């Protein structure tokens, strides 16, 4: 006897895999790259242990036990760090390739900084500094921060921001979640996401339906206390598949619901009678089979289950590790890439999302395929000045934009009356477009933007920008000494 088809089975609740959503390369897996995750807590999980030969190190800066907690003795915060690490670098041990992370073979350092349900600035600073201390020994190249600290402070006052900047100076690309305050009265990005050198990741809601355009997630955005406009890029922040922690109550309940879903029609009433209470069902076991199946699906949907061992999660906490995994793929291709180069490539190759306001998406949605292609074509042909905002020299300003795929680039600003045609840039063999303009006067700041093949863009080498009054952003060069 076949099961009823009038109610949706749990398989239809599955979350779309992340890889295709950001155009990741399935042939890359972060091999030879070490990633660090500083988070509230972690538990041992099969997706972090496999494959054989992968190195895994755990550190608890809060004074807890030195060993990675097993299923039965981890605190309630352990799910968050475990899920962020698996989203980026899970081996797919419990899901197969569907929910394997883009950096599934990267080596891992897990650093616990949460205590009593909170992440304090002092512990967060200790965690980041511990990553820097282990940078040489473990070869750490990427640090994911899906946590926030206690205080919103300017960069010169924030110990968290200083720790992030030190990590970047040590050669570690820091990827930070923007936060989830974008739909509230204070959407501002705060430390560590406000650190100037961090790749700050906001969120989009995508893959809801094949024909539905992406929309903005409630991620934090806008100027920091220092006036830096964040985030730089966005990534999927809704319906991201993440593991259920083994041995937890949710794990056991998901098991029962999956067993109920798998039961044939003629046995379903008996299984509901025997295990329905364990699954949390409030339904008469003698009800019609379609009613029973609908109750199973409703219960699974309420728990955000996408299978026996996974649930879908939301938030920029999970958008950030997706980008961190893309960074690991970039470093697998070119281990010599520096953090500034990586950040610049991610921004320059991101795709603008027409249905999301510019201030919420920065340079757009991360596109791994385009970023990896840029790396393959030789991102290291650039010089250090190509990663810096324009600087004045003797009354003149030189602009740079690295975009090998562009065919026409212009720059506009008050120096040319915001003309879309007056100031073309010239391209060199490395795909760097340059122009030098007379600025005159003694202005302390210079707003500008690029026009690339007919589309207005900011400057991925310049973290400072401002509202242009037209729904977009102008880059702002600081001209004062």
pLDDT at 254 over 60: yes
Q: pTM for the whole thing?
A: 0.84
Polymer length in residues for the chain = 481
Distance (Å) of CA 193 to CA 80, 154, 161, 352, 399: 17, 12, 8, 21, 27
The model's pLDDT over 365-382, given as tens digits with 9 standing for 90+, comes to: 999 999 999 898 875 555
pLDDT at 431 over 90: no
Contact in structure between 203 and 183 (CB atoms under 8 Å): no
- Residue 85: CA count within 13 A, CB half-sphere: 34
Local confidence band at 6 (pLDDT 50, 70, 90 cut-offs): very low
pLDDT at 440 over 50: yes
Domains of the chain (ranges, CATH numbers): 16-243+313-379 (3.40.50.200), 247-304 (no CATH), 382-478 (2.60.40.10)
**Segment 339-359 mean pLDDT:** 89
Mean pLDDT over each residue of the chain, to the nearest integer: 88
pLDDT score at 383: 60
pLDDT score at 478: 81
Token pair recorded at residue 134: 């282990």
pLDDT score at 354: 87
The model's pLDDT over 227-249, given as tens digits with 9 standing for 90+, comes to: 888 999 999 999 999 999 888 88
**Segment 389-409 mean pLDDT:** 83
Distance CA 269, CA 285 (A): 5
Residue whose structure tokens are 């800066």: 61
Contact in structure between 119 and 147 (CB atoms under 8 Å): yes
Percent above pLDDT 90 for the chain: 50
pLDDT score at 318: 97
pLDDT score at 468: 81
Which of 136-145, 185-194, 293-302, 422-431 is most confident? 136-145
Local confidence band at 12 (pLDDT 50, 70, 90 cut-offs): low
Local confidence band at 308 (pLDDT 50, 70, 90 cut-offs): confident
pLDDT score at 245: 87
Local confidence band at 5 (pLDDT 50, 70, 90 cut-offs): very low
pLDDT score at 7: 41
pLDDT at 338 over 50: yes
Q: Cis bond leading into 106, ω under 30°?
A: no
Q: 3-state SS of the chain?
A: CCCCCCCCCHHHHCCCCHHHHHCCCCCCCCCCCEEEEEECCCCCCHHHHCCCCCCEEEEECCCCCCCCCCCCCCCCCHHHHHHHHHHHHCCCCCCHHHHCCCCCCCEEEEEECEECCEECHHHHHHHHHHHHHCHHHHCEEEEEECCCCCCCCCCCCCHHHHHHHHHHHCCCEEEEECCCCCCCCCCCCCCCCCCCCCEEEEEEECCCCCCCCCEECCCCCEECCCCEEECCEEEECCCEEEECCCCCHHHHHHHHHHHHHHCCHHHHHHHHHHHHHHHCCCCCCCCCHHHHHHHHHHHHHHCCECCCCEEEECCHHHHHHHHHHHHHHHHHHCCCCCHHHHHHHHHHHCECCCCCCHHHHCCCECCHHHHHHHHHCCHHHCCHHHHCCCCEECCEEEEEEECCCCCCEEEECHHHCCCCCCCECEECCCCEEEEEEECCCCCCEEEEEEEECCEEECCCCCCEEEECCCCCEEEEEECCC
**Segment 132-154 mean pLDDT:** 94
pLDDT at 288 over 60: yes
**Segment 449-453 mean pLDDT:** 92
Local confidence band at 208 (pLDDT 50, 70, 90 cut-offs): low
**Segment 12-36 mean pLDDT:** 91
Q: Cis bond leading into 238, ω under 30°?
A: no
Local confidence band at 76 (pLDDT 50, 70, 90 cut-offs): low
């Amino acid at each position: 006897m076949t099961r009823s088809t009038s109610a949706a089975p749990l398989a239809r609740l599955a979350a779309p895999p992340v890889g295709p959503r950001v155009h990741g390369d399935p042939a890359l897996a972060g091999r030879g790259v070490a990633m660090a995750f500083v988070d509230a807590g972690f538990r041992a999980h099969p997706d972090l242990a496999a494959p054989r030969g992968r190195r895994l190190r755990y550190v608890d800066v809060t004074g807890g036990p030195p060993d990675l907690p097993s299923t039965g003795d981890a605190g309630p915060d352990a799910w968050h760090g475990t899920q962020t690490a698996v989203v980026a670098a899970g081996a797919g041990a419990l899901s197969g390739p569907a929910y394997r992370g883009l950096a599934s073979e990267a080596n891992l350092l897990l650093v616990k900084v949460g205590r009593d349900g909170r992440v304090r600035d002092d512990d967060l600073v200790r965690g980041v500094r511990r990553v820097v201390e282990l940078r040489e020994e473990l070869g750490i190249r990427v640090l994911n921060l899906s946590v926030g600290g206690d205080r919103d402070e300017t960069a010169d006052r924030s110990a968290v921001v200083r720790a992030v900047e030190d990590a970047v100076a040590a050669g570690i690309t820091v990827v930070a979640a923007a936060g989830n305050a974008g739909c509230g009265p204070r959407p501002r990005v705060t430390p560590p996401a406000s650190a100037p050198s961090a790749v700050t990741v906001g969120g989009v809601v995508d893959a809801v339906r094949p024909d539905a355009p992406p929309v903005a997630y409630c991620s934090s955005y806008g100027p920091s206390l220092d006036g830096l406009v964040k985030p730089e890029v966005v990534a999927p922040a809704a319906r991201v598949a993440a593991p259920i922690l083994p041995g937890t109550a949710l794990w056991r309940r998901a098991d029962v619901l999956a067993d109920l879903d798998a039961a044939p029609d003629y046995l379903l009433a008996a299984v509901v009678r025997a295990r329905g209470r364990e699954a949390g069902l409030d339904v008469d076991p003698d009800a019609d089979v379609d009613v029973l199946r609908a109750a199973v699906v409703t219960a699974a949907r309420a728990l955000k289950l996408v299978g026996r061992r996974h649930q879908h999660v939301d938030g920029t906490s999970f958008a950030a590790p997706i980008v961190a995994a893309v960074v690991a793929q970039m470093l697998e291709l070119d281990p010599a890439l520096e953090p500034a180069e990586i950040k610049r490539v991610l921004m320059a190759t991101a795709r603008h999302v027409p249905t999301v306001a510019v201030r919420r998406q920065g340079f757009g949605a991360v596109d791994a395929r385009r970023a990896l292609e840029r790396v393959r074509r030789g991102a290291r042909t650039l010089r250090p000045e190509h990663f810096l905002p324009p600087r004045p020299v003797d009354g003149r300003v030189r602009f740079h934009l690295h975009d090998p795929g562009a065919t026409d680039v212009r720059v506009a600003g008050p120096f040319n009356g915001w003309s879309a045609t007056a100031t073309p840039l010239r391209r060199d063999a490395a795909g760097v477009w340059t122009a030098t303009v007379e600025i005159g006067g003694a202005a302390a700041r210079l707003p500008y933007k690029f026009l690339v093949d007919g589309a207005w863009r900011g400057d991925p080498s310049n973290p400072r920008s401002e509202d242009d009054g037209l729904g977009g952003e102008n880059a702002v060069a600081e001209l004062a000494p």
